[in-house]
Amino acid sequence: MKKLPVCLLAFILLPLFSFSQVLTPVKWSFKVEQSKPDEATLLLIAKIDHGWHIYSKNNPLPPDGPVGTTFQFTKRKEYQLTGNVTEPKPIEEKDSQFENATLRYFDTKAVFKQKIRVLGKNDFTVKGSLEFMCCDNGQCIPPEEIEFSFDIKGNPAGAELAKTVAPPVQGKGDSAAKSADTSKVTVSKPATPPVVKTEGMDTGEKRSLLMFFLISFLAGLLAIVTPCVFPMIPMTVTFFMHDSGNKRKARFQAIVYALSIIFIYTVIGTVVAVTLGANFANFLSTHWLPNVFFFLIFIVFAASFLGMFEITLPSWLVSKADKQADKGGFTGAFFMAFTLVLVSFSCTGPIVGAILVQSAGGKILLPIIGMLGFSIAFALPFGLFAFFPSWLAGLPKSGGWLNSVKVVLGFLELALGLKFLSIADQTYHWHILDREVYLAFWIVIFTLMGLYLLGKIRFNHDSDVPYLSVPRLTLSIITFTFVVYMIPGMWGAPLKALAGYLPPQQSHDFDLTAIIRNEVKSISGGAGGTTNTSLCDTPKYKEFLDLPHQLDGYFDYNQALNCARKQNKPLFIDFTGHGCVNCREMEARVWADPQVLKRLRENFIVTALYVDDKTEVPQKEWITSKYDGKVKKSIGKIYADLQIARFNVNAQPYYVLLDTAGNLLTTPKAYDLNIDNFIKFLDTGLQNFRNPVKK
Cα 587 to Cα 500, 505, 678: the distances in Å are: 9, 9, 12
DSSP annotation string for 57-112: TT----TT-PPPPEEEE---TTEEEEEEEE-PPPEEEEEGGGTTEEEEEEESEEEE
The C-alpha atoms of residue 213 and residue 590 are separated, in whole angstroms, by 27
DSSP annotation string for 376-441: HHHHHHHHHHHH-GGGGGGSPPPSHHHHHHHHHHHHHHHHHHHHHHHHHHHHHT--SS-HHHHHHH
Contact 97, 90 (CB under 8 A): no
Among 122-126, 272-276, 645-649, 650-654, the range with the most confident prediction by mean pLDDT is: 122-126
pLDDT band at 668 (very low <50, low <70, confident <90, very high): very high
The closest alpha carbon to 555, from 585, 577, 533, 570, belongs to 577
Model confidence, pTM: 0.45
Question: pLDDT value at position 321?
Answer: 53
pLDDT tens, position by position, 462-511: 777 788 889 889 999 999 999 999 999 898 888 877 866 788 777 777 76
pLDDT band at 438 (very low <50, low <70, confident <90, very high): very high
Q: 458 vs 428, which has greater pLDDT?
A: 458
DSSP state of 588: I
The C-alpha atoms of residue 637 and residue 624 are separated, in whole angstroms, by 11
Among 228-237, 343-352, 654-663, the range with the most confident prediction by mean pLDDT is: 654-663
Among 143-157, 300-314, 415-429, 566-580, the minimum mean pLDDT is found in 300-314
The C-alpha atoms of residue 599 and residue 685 are separated, in whole angstroms, by 11
Across the range 155-169, mean pLDDT stands at 52
Pairing of strands 605-610, 571-576: parallel
Contact 438, 492 (CB under 8 A): no
Pairing of strands 571-576, 654-658: antiparallel
The C-alpha atoms of residue 287 and residue 636 are separated, in whole angstroms, by 12
Question: pLDDT value at position 42?
Answer: 94
pLDDT band at 195 (very low <50, low <70, confident <90, very high): very low
Q: Which residues, including other chains, have CB under 8 Å from residue 499's CB and lie 6 or more apart?
A: 584, 585, 587, 588, 589
pLDDT tens, position by position, 35-63: 888 899 999 999 998 878 888 877 655 44
pLDDT band at 595 (very low <50, low <70, confident <90, very high): very high
Compute, in degrees rounded to 10, the torsion defined by CA atoms 471, 475, 480, 482. Answer: 150
The C-alpha atoms of residue 138 and residue 277 are separated, in whole angstroms, by 4
- H-state helical runs in 188-277: 201-224, 232-240, 247-275
Is residue 678 scored above 90 in pLDDT? Answer: yes
Among 96-100, 419-423, 599-603, the minimum mean pLDDT is found in 96-100
Is residue 363 scored above 80 in pLDDT? Answer: no
Across the range 505-534, mean pLDDT stands at 58
Contact 148, 28 (CB under 8 A): yes
Among 22-36, 236-250, 344-358, 414-428, the range with the most confident prediction by mean pLDDT is: 22-36
pLDDT tens, position by position, 52-94: 888 887 765 544 456 789 898 988 888 999 888 999 988 887 6
Tell me what percent of the chain is helix, strand and coil, each rounded to the nearest 5: 50, 15, 35
Q: Reply yes or no: is the peptide bond before residue 653 cis, omega within 30 of 0.
A: yes
Average pLDDT, the chain: 75
Among 291-305, 509-523, 582-596, 607-621, the minimum mean pLDDT is found in 509-523
The C-alpha atoms of residue 200 and residue 116 are separated, in whole angstroms, by 39
Across the range 109-127, mean pLDDT stands at 91
Share of the chain above pLDDT 70, in %: 67
The residue length of the chain stands at 695
Is residue 573 scored above 60 in pLDDT? Answer: yes
The C-alpha atoms of residue 187 and residue 133 are separated, in whole angstroms, by 11
Which CB contacts under 8 angstroms, 24+ apart, belong to 310-318? 310/346, 311/345, 311/346, 311/349, 312/345, 312/346, 313/342, 313/345, 317/342, 318/342, 318/343
Contact 176, 337 (CB under 8 A): no
pLDDT band at 319 (very low <50, low <70, confident <90, very high): low
Cα 93 vs. chain centroid, distance in angstroms? 29
DSSP annotation string for 491-506: GT---GGGTTTSPPGG
Among 533-542, 598-607, 616-625, the range with the most confident prediction by mean pLDDT is: 598-607
Across the range 294-311, mean pLDDT stands at 78
Residue 333 CB coordination number (10 Å) = 25
> Which strand (E) or helix (H) includes residue 567?
helix 557-567
pLDDT tens, position by position, 5-45: 334 334 334 443 333 445 678 999 999 998 888 899 999 99
Cα 96 to Cα 65, 89, 105, 138: the distances in Å are: 11, 22, 14, 10
Is residue 622 scored above 50 in pLDDT? Answer: yes
The C-alpha atoms of residue 598 and residue 30 are separated, in whole angstroms, by 51
Question: pLDDT value at position 401?
Answer: 65
Cα 549 to Cα 393, 498, 571: the distances in Å are: 58, 16, 18
Among 205-209, 375-379, 628-632, 662-666, the minimum mean pLDDT is found in 205-209
SS3 298: helix
**Both ends of the chain: CA-CA distance in Å?**
68
Phi, psi of 403 (to 5 degrees): -65, -30
Contact 192, 158 (CB under 8 A): no
Pairing of strands 26-36, 605-610: unpaired
Domains and CATH numbers, the chain: 4-16+204-401 (no CATH), 26-168 (2.60.40.1250), 434-527 (no CATH), 529-690 (3.40.30.10)
Among 351-360, 386-395, 467-476, the range with the most confident prediction by mean pLDDT is: 467-476
Return the bridge partners of 109, or none.
Answer: 47
Question: pLDDT value at position 46?
Answer: 94
Question: pLDDT value at position 167?
Answer: 41
DSSP state of 669: B
pLDDT band at 259 (very low <50, low <70, confident <90, very high): confident
Cα R_g (the chain), whole angstroms = 31
SS3 574: strand
> Which strand (E) or helix (H) includes residue 34?
strand 26-36
The C-alpha atoms of residue 123 and residue 149 are separated, in whole angstroms, by 13
